[in-house]
Structure 1
């Protein structure tokens, strides 16, 4: 996101009569993103703690635990970034010492968590789809440590992509459309829109078809619902803004108002996607017909329980 991030000293480009209204709107947007992030931080901390200490792990909870870490990082950085942005908009010391370096650091961590989270969602639903299509292979030949290996690889991939994007294509080069930035934008667009998005959609459709055929007479396995819901929310809330940032690079959104509006919309949407996940787990894991025995531990245990007899 670094190449796409707009610093707020660019409000100098606004028409003078519109600056106060825009500052109010953007301050409200930053406050909403910060509040949403704090709610998500609480939920992801709870999920991570239960997955780490209280719930028996399987090949999918490894992905979900790493996804919770990625979401927690993204939401924490978002909260801090929004505080910096509010200070820039209405604070008394918007250009504090080390401002640029601090923002760059935040953007690197933000992109690392955003990209890694996208890869975890993709790997999780693809593996679930493969387990359904090739159950014998998965039972007999799938390496036991595959989930761990994949998570390490995806963290490295997300970190590499974030460093390349933020260090080789700063905001000034992004606006100038340098050849390096063009290559970086094509790389990020290819990974997110051309690779991850089709894999997510194809695997989700396959699982939905399987759910319809396999679970006609019984409630579908909760893990199916969790994986598909997490992926669908990410597709609807994050992927469209990745596409719009790509269009922005080629000047399809030329005004600074459009750029800042897209910036805050993408921040809020990413925060919403990361915040929703832990609450999806709890809602899916609850037994709604029972008033008791609906503790967080029991709900998460039911949500992540894998019934191997279904494959």
Structure 2
């Protein structure tokens, strides 16, 4: 079984979409359905839901047809499929029909493991729909959303969107769609790449009040700006724990790029991100980085219960990072 990305998966006799991230799974299914329609507008669409998939349900829609028309068959909840359908699928995997595109969506859990093992052994393409956690993966998701709409977006604009809405993938998809709609040109005009300034206007200041914006200002040594952004974030109800986590993530990334031989591939980050961090790292020494990371570690310990005033712990951390940056 070979893993493929949801935004590049191709039609095949059988495709497995596996994971708990519903949005990724739905995107993969939408893409495959669209590809099936594009290949033949007359394709017959069938859905075998758990409550409607009785004995022989698969053979009814997948058996060879007199006219040989293509069929798109979706099993949306494989983890809940009745035993009769699972047994049918185990046999079907051995010899799938060439005119059928069978899409199996398994939303997690241990049920159906025998079938999953059979699909793996058969080399069925698998879309990994696991939760998206890494910032780089979220940025790839945003880029794919814009590519899907045949729009271009600049890398710094992608970063701004993820910084503002990266905690919720569904919200990230929704704001991407809104941004696409708001910047669609009139008929006859050519669409230009979406910029970070357009992201800032659509997000109405939310980017500036995120923990990542606080981190950027602190790492750059802009203490007054960082404290103002921190106050905005706290007034908006931001919890100290994720604020510290976001700043810790930025500081760790900054430290990583200073390692000998570090490159985009070994660090798992885009080239442009490595360039930006490397540029900022020139303003830090090993000693100042250690001092800043120590401040982050202390704040992390305090906001998780060891301190009396989590808000003050975060504020002190920001000030210490800024001062470490200036001291070098």
- TM-score, normalized by the shorter chain, greater than 0.5: no
Q: TM-score, normalised by structure 1?
A: 0.24
Q: TM-score, normalised by structure 2?
A: 0.23
From the CA coordinates, give the structure whose radius of gyration is larger.
2
Which of the pair is proportionally richer in strand? 2
- Higher RCO structure, 1 or 2 (CA under 8 Å, sep 6+): 1
